[in-house]
Structure 1
Amino acid sequence: MSDAPANPHASVEGPPQTRPASAAQSGIWFNELLDDCGAVHHVSFTVQFDGDLDTEALRHACAAVLSRHPELTSAVEDRDGVPYLRPAPVRPALVVEPASEEATRQHIRTPFDLARGPLCRIVLQVAGPRTHRLLVVVHHLVFDGHSLELFVADLAAYYTAAAAGGDPAPPALPQAGAAADEERRITAKLPAARRYWAAHPLGDDDVVLPGLDRPARGVQDGASVELRLPGELREHLGPAAARIGVTRFELLVASLHALLFRYGNRVPVTALDLGTRTPDQQEHIGVHVNELPFSSPPESGMPFADFARAVRTGLRELYRVREVPLGRAGAGVRPGVALAPVSLSYHRPSAAPEFPGVAASVERGLSHDTARNALRVELIDGSDEFRVLMQYPPRSIARPAAESIARHWLTLLGHAVDDPGTELAALPLLAPDERDRLLTGWNDTAVAYPERTVPELIAEQAARRPDAIAVSHADRHLTYAELDAAATRLAARLRGDGIGPGSLVAVRANRSERLVVGLLGVLKAGAAYIPLDTDYPAERLDFITADARVARELGDADLADDGPAEADGPAAAPAPDDLAYVIYTSGSTGRPKGVQIAHRSLTNLLLAIRDLLDAGPHHRWLALTSVSFDISGLELLLPLITGATVVVASEQQTRDGAALTELAARHGVTHVQATPTGWAMLLDAGFDDPAVTALTGGEALPLTLARRLRPKVGRLVNVYGPTEATIWATSDEIGPDPDRVTIGRPLANTRAVVLDARLTPVPVGVPGDLHLAGTGLARGYLGRPELDSECFLPDPFGPPGSRLYRTGDRVRRLDDGRLEFLGRADDQIKLRGYRIEFGEIESRLLAVDGVDRAAAAVRDGRLIGYHTGGAGADELRRALAAALPGYMVPEVFIGLDALPATPNGKLDRSALPSPPEPVTVPSAGSGSTLDTVREIWREVFRLPGLGDTENLFDLGGHSITMTQISARILDRLGVDVPLYAYFDEPTVRGIAAVVADLGPAD
């Protein structure tokens, strides 16, 4: 290694003694080996000088600080996988240059060469004749928050001496404990630490924050939001903490955990920087902190004061084991630059020391434009101001979301300080304007529609365009006049049989133009129809007719009789509040439940979609959906109230993408509605028609499918709605080249609110339960009052007597008010303690080349991925491992010719096949490789005997153990084993297999 200076910040200097790295230094060094950490470990601050600065005195003072604290002039030497600090061949030297924000940024972000050193750079930036700024950037390997205080205090003392003409030679520091002393302390406390971590959650990389998708792992580009506590709140912090019986720090930790709890994190976990300095280290610059995850036990009804005291108790328990690195005590803890998605550091800096002849101030917490987790909160509790810096990755969280976190925390903290008796779940997050936007601004959907029912609207079209084609099927057609007359005759026969308002009529007929006559005839009679798909199992259809106590069932023979019939006087049109239809949907207990929809709700939906699509008489709609699926009502009835034509597909055609494509082309269809599964079938058959407006709904629309479908159609509208809200409740127009799919905003006369379990609005970007209100809500469930009270709730945000429907769907608001569908609440599972949403896995699978369709499910406790297309299991595993945490990567991938679908065209998750039984795979390592790896493990662990399946972490292994093993494997077998492999394969046999797979290094 050359002794020539590597940069202008250095000058040659002789060595102090080489010494083993401390536990904290070893951990940081290991993280630098594990990943590209960028500037995440860079600690930077400035000292601002206003006045006549003695530059030469400052230069001497800087040199004296470096001499007094040799850690700053160190480099790191790797000795067989163990780090040692040794003197760097060069040492920092003060550089003077013009002030520049870009230069500052470069100094902060420029990497340190740990092996060469030095680990510190000092720059004096000249902003004017009497304005200077001293920028100090130090690697965290040799510097912590308290070191900053020591640096500035020593700098002031030496500057004072040098400016007065004295000798700034530093006095010797008291001797600090050696690494062996630290190891003895850690060893003594290790049993207690293991007991502690066995009883406390370590957390994972899963956290709920506004606008956050699953946090990206590793270091990435970062940004920061900065705020200052209002003066009154800052002044009240100390007295409030004293009244509660906690410290300021404990109060602040409790407030951050309360915020995380209010966002939906049931067990908040934050990584905390805890000081580990011993009395003999108080004056030594270095890194004497240990970052450890801290979890708290919040409960909705717990007063904040009680929670803060519980946090105090928990912190005091953690303090007892604060010296023990987590990797030494927590089995299998995967290291990284952050131990939790949210971390917190707290500083109470001293006032800036005096520099003679100049006014000096210190600024700490300079941004290094990198992020090591989803959110890092740095609190600087100074004597004259309280600064808060929130660092976040813009790739994962947009700036408005990060700013909202800061606002929410301030709102919550202020309320907790003023009224610490407030229950956690009642602590406010939203300012009045934000709450108003969520509840009112984005729900301003009122439209005055006429008091008309569907039979009236269709009759108006029949009078206006009697000879226009209303319904087509095969080679048969019905004009509007013929349709209206046939439905009127059927209605007359029904009325003659005593069927009228309040009656339920089942329609069990094949798909044809007569099916439309049947539905309309029932409505004209004033009754409500129950549509039954003839392809459904007879047992289910028989259950429905018995459960609904239908007054009459109409089959194909009944609908074929269109001869004259007489009625007992003219029929009265149904009233808007009369029942229009009952649709049976699957129940969570397996018992189907009938949803009752009134004419007013049906008419509102049809007119809302008419206006959304500008639908008119020149359009042709393809009816392809099972009549037992409520969305079929849109295909059959919207065209008829707008004077358009319905093209009814046969049963055989609905299952054949090519046949449907040909049918649509032959009839010049302009509007097609299908589920995403149905659209995938159409696209596979070559569907491509830029004249078509496509509606997709009924299940989540994957982004990959949206990108595939959008160029094939003229318009693409994603619609969402449960049966209980009358077909559709929200919509979003998908533009060209979409980068996101949402379910959009509520339709006319519909309100959508996102609430937590206490029916409190959640902030923008935070997942919650979608509730719907407005004209579209169903009357309720047929004969199921217990379900009505469970699912239809009093609306606390609407007019008196209004209701909310609890959809059971998880969504979140985006900044523009659109709703993003996250999945069914009952599709969100916990597997081995981790939250998993199938939709997230499926979207990642669909993003892999060669995957056409995808699904995920849990079978016998195993996470399984299903797919169609030519992608292989190894390719899928690699792709998902790069994008998802390990617990979300399916254990098994199963390729299918097609994914099972329900008769409604949705994915039938329950019909996905079970995987084959796991097969035990023998070790890939040869005998000699296995023997060598086993011998290396015995040497490192100093054990005479060692089984091939014993776990590294059970043996007490940690980060340095891994680097030692890897160094010896590289030396003896020529294979560079990546450090993450020890967490995937933590046994002799597993590592030997990794060595065999990798082969010798080049």
Structure 2
Amino acid sequence: MTTAAHGIWFTEKAGVAGSAFHMALGIWFDGDLDEAALAKACAAVIARHEALSTVFTAEGFAPAAEKVALTHAAFSPDRVSQELARPFDLGRGPLARFTLLRENPRRCLLLFTAHHLVFDGMSKDILINDLALAYNGNDLGPLAPLTAHTPAATQWSPPQGDVILPGLIRQPAAAEPGLANTFTVGLTPLEGVTRFEHVLAAIHLVLARYGNAGLPVAVGLSTRDSQHTGHIGLFVNELPVTVAPAVGSFREYALGLRSRLRELYQRRDVPLSLPGVRPTPSLTPISVGYRRRGPAPAFAGVDTEVQWALFAGSARNAMHVQIVDDGSELLVSLQHSPTAIDSASVTRIAAHLRHALAAAPERDVARLVIEPVPSEWNATERPYPAQVTVLSLVEEQARQRPDAIAIADTAGTVTYGQLQSLVTQRSQAMAAGSIVPLKMGRGLDAVVSMLAATHAGAAYLPVDPAYPVARQELILQDALSHPVDGEVAYVMYTSGSTGKPKGVAVPHRALANLLLGMAELLGSGPDDRWLNLTSLSFDISGLEIFLPLVTGGRLIIASEVSGQDGRAVNALIREHGVTHVQATPSGWRVLLESDLPPGLVALAGGEALPLDLARQLRARVARLFNVYGPTETTIWSSADEIPSDPEQITIGRPIANTQLHIVDEQGQSVPIGVPGELCIGGHGLANGYLGQPELTAERFISLDGQRVYRTGDLCVRLSDGRVAYLGRSDSQVKVRGHRVELGEIEQRLREHPQVTDAAVALRGEQLVGYVIPAAPADLKSHLAQTLPAAMIPSLFLDLDRLPLTPNGKLDRAALPAPAPRQAAPVKAAPTDEIAAFLKEIWQELLSIDEVGLDEDLFDLGGHSLTITRINGRIFQRYGIEVPLEIFFDTPTIAEIADYVREAR
């Protein structure tokens, strides 16, 4: 048995292949078909090709007990599907079948289905040619015998990794019921490369533009030589071609792939070595099959039409791309599982592939737009006065309603008229062009000072009195050394990656745009009452404070003491008839647990909103908005109103005069459904960082002529135009070659009903989960439902609370390291004859002098062929066949010995 055949047989034995290895073609006959001649032709083909009468067992191959015969049935699409998917018994056979399905007296379909163990792509040409010769009355004659197969002396391991595809939910671990998205497309010749290389380059280019780098794509390469001419059988080896970054012209990209293929051709007889990989129908997430087909041979007296690539209904991996090339156009079939990747996204991928196939040879592939974002998704223009400030908007309200109450706090209330007077008086002590530190908590005094700074032509700087003294001094020292102009409304300090806080200078225009845009979105007006619950040093407090004041509403300020108590906050909401409340998801949990009054308009932002919390909160409030935005783009840049029974939480669409762009590492727009970095443009952008021009130039860049801010957040655009937040780009790690987004794992953990909050960190080479609180066994099972094995933490730690930065964000670096594992004990001696026997064959097959009873077979270099040989020895000695899953779940001598003892 060849290595390729062994891999297929092993996968079938593991029960994960479905019909993924069924190969089929159909021949439509129109006219007076001679069924007797066709039956004789089918028998002649079977007689000529020994492979079609072969069965496979653990010991190798043998003749089938039952010969293939032509069967008849009435045609129906369902019958075709049934025939294609009907299982083969590898040990009994036959492994091929002919079925004649009659649609009407003059039209029928000859359906041939064979198992891949005895059939490959080239075999289809041989089969149909021999079938036509025999039908037309020719004697096929015998084939020259094949020499024995010599196994390759070496093995090699390809790079491993995951895959980025639009709409990909998960990578199937086994073949699943699938669908095929099929289309035809023309192909203009590309000088210097074959049509196959041209097509494969286009596929690789699309994958590269999705963000895949170094991803192995499996390509079936023929291992036939001169002696195999005319023989039906399995003469192919599936080997990986890695995706290269999208650079240079399309011609250069295709030539580079051609060069890699030429290197791979030298290894086409060399089997892959993938220790520890469970059997799957494909060893890579993406695979490609390509066949060049000429005109079909004639069958005397009837017209024929050949269906070369019938889909047997099982998706073998994330996506299999099957291509039939007739020399003028391509028939492309994207085979996938609709539960692993949604069909709408596959349709989109097909469109991307068409764009790539049509790429001009000299086009720069890094700038090739495979899917433009609809312009209306960023068409958010709203007019407003150029010189407007928050103060001018408040003053307009004071003119319209001077006696209306503007602010209420623990000290009492003030009207709009009184507020204007207080602001004017306070501004006299402030100098234009200066930064005014506000080292105070929430209250009327703080609001007056903020507006007074604008009146004086200064900028205000909130400094939280709760900060450590050293941090306060660092902020003040940095800020007061940098004068600002009259365009700056405020300066807000955020944490810096170097450990030093950085000051973000926000202009009046940006603040006014945020307030007017959110007022339009929320419909906030004079009858509404907003609660100021957030610390002044958190920029989102600006929305709570100013939005009611610029729309004629009333601001209710929670004291520093009551703001820490959920019951006190809820009492304040009831007492003042508050209509709008903004809080972080953590804050909303506290309020919900403290009998939150119903009927509010709620805004949740500042951190990811878990789906379970969104559902609880939405059931309690009148309207719920998930809002998103970094300090550098002025509080909020997007919002999404959450429906009554949400299935997914997104950050929604851009607010007024704001554009959201999702780009790859080259700054090019990524297609819908593909993750990328979110860049934000529009009127909300800050001027930059105080005294840090290099950092400003690094984070505020030009994108297609527009100034944008690079958020560092990974996001994905959905098909309806909304944007989903995936996590921080700096929280992306690599685990065993797989790209892992820690934020996605954390989100899945938070969806568990027993988890209040969660975090994940990479410690050494293992993922560690931190939860409050839950049972680790439940969590692993929960994650396994939606995440691949590489994304499931190997260890969970229960914490009372997660460590936070001064701004209330997760401090991943402060998560505790797990206790070191104890050193492995000295290798114990076998306890009985079974363990001694297993140790002996383990050491022999692995070529290792000493193997411990508890050492992992795969860590020692074992693979599927090793398992087969071990199992064969066990069967010979004890008459016991160990199920393959036992080897993968418990791959040690001690545990396999336990199974054998129990089975005897």
TM-score by length of 2: 0.93
Are the counterparts in 1 of residues 17 and 280 from structure 2 also a CA contact under 8 Å? no
Is 1:518 the equivalent of 2:449? yes
Deviation, 1:911, is 2.7
Q: 1:691 to 1:502 in 2, by over 3 A?
A: same
Query: 1:220 aligns to what?
Result: 176
Letter of the aligned partner of 1:753 in structure 2? Answer: H
| Structure 2 counterpart of 1:442, one-letter code | W
Letter in 2 for 1:413: L
- 1:59, distance to aligned residue in structure 2 (A): 1.6
Answering whether residue 159 of structure 2 is matched by residue 202 of structure 1, we say yes
Could you say which residue in structure 1 is the equivalent of 2:255? Answer: 309
On the 8 A contact 2:627/2:636 being kept in 1, the answer is: yes
Q: Aligned residue pairs: how many?
A: 901
Query: 1:829 maps to what in 2?
Result: 733
Letter in 1 for 2:865: I
More displaced, 398-407 or 729-738? 398-407
Which residue in 1 is equivalent to 2:801? 898
Which of residues 491, 507, 512 is equivalent to 1:598?
A: 507
CA distance in 2, matches of 1:730, 1:226: 37
Alignment root-mean-square deviation, CA: 3.0
Pairing of 1:43-54 with structure 2 (within 5 A): 43-54=23-34
- How far apart are residue 780 of structure 1 and its match? 1.8
Match of 2:99 in 1: 123
SS at match of 2:295: coil
Alpha-carbon distance in structure 2 between the residues aligned to 1:365 and 1:460: 71
Q: Secondary structure at the match of 2:659?
A: strand
Q: Which residue of 2 aligns with 1:534?
A: 465
Which of 259, 267, 272 is residue 321 of structure 1 equivalent to? 267
Q: Which residue of the other structure, out of 358, 369, 376, is the alignment partner of 1:429?
A: 369
Aligned-pair distance for 1:721? 0.9
Alignment match, 1:392: 336
Could you tell me which residue of structure 2 aligns to residue 556 of structure 1?
none
Residues 938 and 828 of structure 1: is their aligned pair in 2 closer, same or farther, counting only changes over 3 Å? Answer: closer
Distance 2:111 2:503 in 1: 71
Find the aligned partners of 1:271 and 1:543 in 2 and give their Cα distance: 55
**What amino acid sits opposite 2:391 in the alignment?**
P
- 1:968 deviates by 5.8
Aligned partner of 1:888 in structure 2 is: 791
Contact 1:67 1:170 in 2 (8 A): no
Among candidates 136, 150, 169, match of residue 182 of structure 1: 150
Contact 1:975 1:1000 in 2 (8 A): no
Question: Partner residue of 1:443?
Answer: 378
What is the CA distance between 1:749 and its match in structure 2?
0.9
Give the Cα separation in 1 of the matches to 2:899 and 2:445. Answer: 66
Q: Which residue type is aligned with residue 27 of structure 2?
A: V
Give CA deviations for 1:769-823 in whole Å, capped at 9, x if unaligned.
221111111122222222222222234255xxxx222222221211111111122
Q: Deviations over 1:702-756 (max 9, x none)?
A: 3333234322322221111111111111111111222211111110111112222
> 1:229 is paired with a residue of what secondary structure?
strand
Deviations 1:150-199 (CA, angstroms, capped at 9, x unpaired) = 211111111111xxxxxx77533221233xx333xx13xx1xx44xx4xx
* Corresponding residue of 2:49: 69
Match of 2:601 in 1: 693
**Structure 2 Cα separation of the partners of residues 414 and 253 of structure 1:** 13
**In structure 2, the residue corresponding to 1:92 is in which secondary structure?**
coil
Q: CA deviation at 1:948?
A: 4.4
Deviation of the 1:999 alpha carbon: 8.6
Q: Residue 530 of structure 2 contacts residue 544 of structure 2 at CA under 8 Å; is this kept in 1?
A: yes
Q: Judging changes above 3 Å, is the alpha-carbon distance between structure 1 residues 943 and 696 closer, same or farther for their aligned structure 2 residues?
A: closer
Deviation (angstroms), 1:403:
2.3
Q: How far does residue 64 in structure 1 lie from its aligned partner after superposition?
A: 2.0
Q: 1:523 to 1:972 in 2, by over 3 A?
A: farther
Cα deviation for residue 881 of structure 1 reads 4.2
Query: Cα deviations across residues 341-384 of structure 1 (Å, max 9, x unaligned)?
Result: 11111101232111110112211111223211122111211145
Output aligned runs, 1:512-911, within 5 Å. Answer: 512-549=443-480, 578-683=487-592, 685-798=593-706, 803-869=707-773, 871-911=774-814
Contact 1:620 1:644 in 2 (8 A): yes
Matched, 1:937 2:842: yes
Counterpart CA distance in 2 for 1:423 and 1:711 is: 51
CA contact (8 A) 2:599 2:620 kept: no
The residue type equivalent to 1:28 in the other structure is I
Hey, what does 2:304 align to over in structure 1? 360
Cα shift readout 1:580-631 (whole Å, capped 9, x = no counterpart): 1111111222221111112221111111111111112222222222211111
Secondary structure at 2:67's aligned position in 1? strand
Question: Measured at CA, do residues 551 and 307 of structure 1 come closer, stay the same or move farther in structure 2, by a change above 3 Å?
Answer: closer
Instruction: Give me the whole-angstrom Cα distance separating, in 2, the residues matched to 1:142 and 1:656.
Output: 72
Whole-angstrom CA distance in 1 between matches of 2:398 and 2:482? 29
Q: Distance in 2 between matches of 1:903 and 1:646?
A: 26
**Does the CA contact (< 8 Å) of 1:721 and 1:727 recur in 2?**
yes
SS in structure 2 at match of 1:712:
coil
Q: Cα deviations across residues 94-134 of structure 1 (Å, max 9, x unaligned)?
A: 22222211211121122223343322232212222221111
Using the alignment, how far apart are the partners of 2:659 and 2:637 within structure 1?
Answer: 8
- The structural deviation recorded for 1:936 is 4.8
* Structure 1 residue 971, shift from structure 2 partner: 8.8
Distance change >3 Å, CA 158–CA 374, structure 1 → 2: same
CA deviations on 1:232-257 (whole Å, 9 max, x unpaired) are x3xx32xx2xx32x333233323322
- CA change 1:587–1:984 in 2 (3 A) is farther
Distance in 2 (alpha carbons) for counterparts of 1:274 and 1:762: 31
CA distance in 2, matches of 1:972, 1:694: 70
- The letter for the 2-side match of 1:148 is K
Describe the superposition over 1:3-49 as per-residue Cα deviations: whole angstroms up to 9, x where unpaired: xxxxxxxxxxxxxxxxxx43322211111122432221111110011
Q: Distance in 2 between matches of 1:945 and 1:443?
A: 65
Distance 1:908 1:384, change over 3 A: closer
Q: Deviations over 1:624-645 (max 9, x none)?
A: 2221111110111111222222
- Within the candidate set 487, 510, 513, 2:423 is matched to 487
Does the 8 Å contact 2:160/2:737 carry over to 1?
no
Letter in 1 for 2:681: A
**Change beyond 3 A, Cα 1:746–1:619:** same
User: Which of 992, 996, 999 does residue 894 from structure 2 map onto?
Assistant: 992
> 2-side partners of 1:914 and 1:974: how far apart?
48
| Bigger shift: residues 288-297 or 629-638 | 288-297
Pair 1:551–1:73, CA change in 2 (3 A): closer
Structure 1 residues without counterparts, runs of 5 or longer: 1-20, 162-167, 553-573
**Residues 404 and 931 from structure 1, CA distance in 2 versus in 1: closer, same or farther, beyond 3 angstroms?**
same
Superposed displacement of residue 326, structure 1 = 0.9
Where do 5+ consecutive residues of structure 2 fail to align? none
Residue 926 of structure 1: CA displacement?
8.3
In structure 1, C-alpha distance between the alignment counterparts of 2:872 and 2:411, rounded to whole Å: 79
C-alpha contact 2:369 2:669 (8 A) present in aligned 1: no
Match of 1:409 among 336, 348, 353: 353
Q: 1:704 to 1:364 in 2, by over 3 A?
A: farther
Contact 1:866–1:893, Cα closer than 8 Å, also in 2: yes
How many Å separate the matches in 1 of 2:830 and 2:520?
71
1:60: how far off?
A: 1.7
CA distance in 1, matches of 2:880, 2:565: 54
Output aligned runs, 1:107-118, within 5 Å.
107-118=83-94
One-letter amino acid of the counterpart of residue 456, structure 1: S
Q: Is the 8 A contact 2:53 2:63 kept in 1?
A: yes
Structure 1 stretch 616-625 or stretch 594-603: which is displaced more? 616-625
TM-score (norm 1): 0.84
Preserved CA contact (<8 Å) 2:667 2:703: no
Which letter does structure 1 place at the counterpart of 2:820?
A: E
Change (3 A) 1:790 1:943: closer
Distance 2:786 2:872 in 1: 29
Tell me, in whole angstroms, the C-alpha distance in 1 between the residues paired with 2:357 and 2:800.
55
Helix, strand or coil at the partner of 2:442: coil
